[in-house]
Structure 1
Amino acid sequence: MPAAIKGTITVGGQEITITNPEKLLWPDCGITKRIYLEKLAALSPYLLRYCRDRLLTVIRYPHGISGMSFYQKNAPDPLPAFVQTAVHENINYIKLQGLPELIWLGNLAALEFHPSLHYVGSDLPCEWMIDLDPSREVEPRIMEATAIVGTVLTSLGLSSVPKTSGATGVQIIVPIETGVTFDGLRKIGHFVGRYVTEKHPDLFTLERLKKNRGDKIYFDYLQHYSGKTLAAPYTPRARPLATVSTPLLWKEVQQNVSPTDFHLLNIEERLQRMGDLLEKVPPQPVKQLIAKLP
C-alpha cells in the first residue's frame, strides 16, 4: 500500500475512496488511518480466515478511540457493489469476504471485528470458544486461570489454542468437527466450568452478573451461542495500546505474557515468524465427549 494515501486506491481490482488518511485513530501509539490500513492489509490473510462467510458486527470510532463509538450490525447505505450482505433475523449483515471489504471498513474507522460464531445459513458452531472474562480492569491471574482450563481440556484429550481477547480477557479455542451443536458445547462448557470453579473457588466463578463476581474471573460458557459474537482472532481492539486479539503458545501462557504485549505495531513480525497457531490444530473429538456427559 502506498506511503501516502489520497483519494482513491485500487485493492483487489476494486476502487476504494480513502478519507482523512492522517487522522489519528490510536493517538498514544501514533497510529493514523493510513498506518491502520497498512496493518489491516498485513493482518488480512489471518483475520479474514475467521470472518469470511460469517455475519459481521463491527465497532466504529469515526474520531479515533478517544471519540464516540457505535456498534454496526446493519450494513450502511449506500454500499459499494463489491460488498456482499446476508439477512439474519431482520438484520442485513456485512459479509467480510476479502481485502477490498476490509480496507473499505477500515476507512470507515471500523476498529474491531466481531463475527458470528456460525457461518451464514448455518445453525452449527464453527469452533468452541471458552471466554475467560476478568472482573477487574487489570487481572494478574488471567494467564494462571487460562493454564488451569487448558490443563483440564488436555486431560479430556482435547488440544486447544488460547488467544488474548485484545482487551483484558482470554478465549480458549477448540477446533471441532462438523455436527457439534451449540447446545452440546454449552453442556460440555458447563461441565468444565463447574469443575474449575469447584477446584479453584477463589479464582473462577460462573456468576453471570458482574456486580456479584467480586474479583473472580468469569468462566463464560454461555456467550458461545447462535446470534452472539466474540472478538475475532487477529482483530485489532480500540484500546490505548492498539492491542490485537492474538493466539498464543501454551508456553507463553506459562510465562505469564500480558495481553498488551501484542499490538498493531508488532503483530506483523510475529505472524511472519509463527504463522497462524489456530490453523495448526486439527478438529478435536468434542462430539464424543459430549455424548458421554450425563
Structure 2
Amino acid sequence: MPRDRIPVTIEGRELELSNLDKVMYPAAGFTKGEVIDYYTRISPVLLPHLRDRAVTRIRYPNGVDEAHFFEKNKPGGTPSWVRLETMPVPGSTKSRETIDFVVVDELPTLVWLANLAAIELHTPQWRIGADPDMLVVDLDPGAPAGLTECCAVAVLMRDRLAASGIAAYPKTSGKKGMQLCCPISGTQSAEVVAAFAHAVAEELAAMVPGSITAKMAKQLRPGKIFIDWSQNSAAKTTVTPYSLRAGSSPAVSAPLTWDEVVAMATGETPARQLGPAEVLDRVATHGDLLADLLRPGPRVPDQDTSHRGTSR
C-alpha cells in the first residue's frame, strides 16, 4: 500500500485516509488531515443536523484555490456501508431522473467524505420522504453592506417571525452573510413554506426599503441585505450547521446566540465569521446552540393576514 494511504477502522467500518498533508487552505496552511480532524471532533453536534437528509457536497480535490465541483450523486468507489437513497432530482425537468444521494448518518461516512475533500456540506430543509421541517432565511449582504448589517436585519426578522409564533436561530454562513433557521412542523409543503417566507421578506423590505430587498435582481442589492426567501424551495439546499466553508482561511457556518447577534449589529463587538478551532471551543462550552432545530416546531401561517397585499 502507498505510504500516503492509511487504513483506519471507525465504528467498525474500514476505510483508507490519503494525502493527509495535502494543503486544502493554502493561505492558512490548513491540511486535509486538519479538515478530517475538525469533522471528526465536531461530529457529535454536526451529525444530528445531517441525519436523514440528502447531502450535496462541494469538493475541492486540490484545495480551495483550485477547481471545485458540486456532487449530489454517489461518487465512484462508494463503500457498500454508506447509506444511499435513490430519489428524483429536486427541481429537475426530467420527471423520471433519479440519482443516488449520500446520507450521512454516522461518523465513518462523514470521515469518508472529508477524505474525498468534500469541504462543504449542504442539506435541504426536509428529511427524506417528508415535508420541510425547517424554514430558512438567508441574509445576503450587497457591498458595502456586510455582516454587521445582516445582524441588524436578523433581529428584525427574528421579531417578525416571533409574531407568527416561529422561533429563529441564527448562524453565520461562513462566507459573507448569515442564516436564520426555524423549526417548523414538517406537515406543510415547500411551496407553502416558501410563500410565507416570501411574504415576510417583502413585508420587511417595504418597511426598510433603503436597507432590505426581497428581489432577486443583483443590481438592486448594493448596500442592502437581500432576504433570500427562495432557500425554502424544495430544490434548494443550505450550508449545514458546523460545515466548513471554502475561502482564504477555514471558516465555519457557526451558530450564534442572539446576544452575540445584537452585539454585532450595534457594533459592540466586531461582526465576523468564526474558524474551526473557535467553534470547537464554543461547542465544548455551550453544546449545540441549534439543538432546538431537531425538534418539531409550529406550522407556518397559510395566509399571513398581517401582510398587506400579498397573494400567492
Give the TM-score taking structure 2 as reference length: 0.86
Partner secondary structure for residue 162 of structure 1: strand
Match of 1:271 in 2: 283
CA distance in 1, matches of 2:23, 2:40: 18
Structure 1 pair 280/52, CA: closer, same or farther in 2 (3 Å)? closer
| Partner residue in 2 for 1:132 | 139
Q: Which residue of 2 aligns with 1:82?
A: 81
Runs of 5+ unmatched residues, structure 2: 89-97, 306-310
The CA deviation at 1:101 is 0.6
Residue 221 of structure 1 is matched in structure 2 by 229
Question: Which residue is 1:181 aligned to?
Answer: 189
Distance 1:229 1:84 in 2: 19
Alpha carbons of 1:234 and 1:163: their partners in 2 closer, same or farther (altered >3 Å)?
Answer: same
- For 1:243, the equivalent position in structure 2 comes to 251
Match of 2:29 in 1: 30
Q: Percent identity?
A: 30
Take 1:172 and 1:85, find their aligned partners in 2: how far apart are those partners? 29
Q: CA deviation at 1:291?
A: 5.0
Q: Aligned partners of 2:283 and 2:236: how far apart in 1?
A: 28
More deviation, 146-155/222-231 = 146-155
**Alpha-carbon distance between aligned partners in 2 of 1:173 and 1:241, rounded to the nearest angstrom:** 25
Contact 1:53 1:119 (8 Å CA) reproduced: yes
Alpha-carbon distance in structure 1 between the residues aligned to 2:78 and 2:5: 21
Residue 70 (structure 2) pairs with residue 71 (structure 1) = yes
Moved more, 18-27 or 106-115: 18-27
Change (3 A) 1:195 1:180: same
Alpha-carbon spacing, 1:261–1:222, altered in 2? closer, same or farther (3 Å): closer
CA contact (8 A) 1:132 1:217 kept: yes
Distance 2:206 2:28 in 1: 42
Gaps of 5+ in 1: none
The aligned runs of 1:86-125 (5 Å cut-off) are 86-89=85-88, 90-122=98-130, 124-125=131-132
Superposed CA offset, 1:261-289 (max 9, x none): 411121111001111112146544334x3
Is 1:166 equivalent to 2:174 in the alignment? Answer: yes
The size of the alignment, in residue pairs, is 289
Shift of 1:206: 1.4
1:16-48 superposed Cα distances (whole Å, 9 cap, x missing partner): 111111111122233211111111011112221
Tell me, what secondary structure is at the counterpart of 2:125? strand
State which of 157, 160, 166 in structure 2 corresponds to 1:149.
Answer: 157
The answer for the alignment partner of 1:16 in structure 2 is 15
The answer as to whether partners of 1:243 and 1:260 remain within 8 angstroms in 2 is no
Which residue does 1:51 correspond to in 2? 50
Please give the TM-score of this superposition, normalised by the length of structure 1: 0.91
2:292 is the counterpart of 1:285 = no
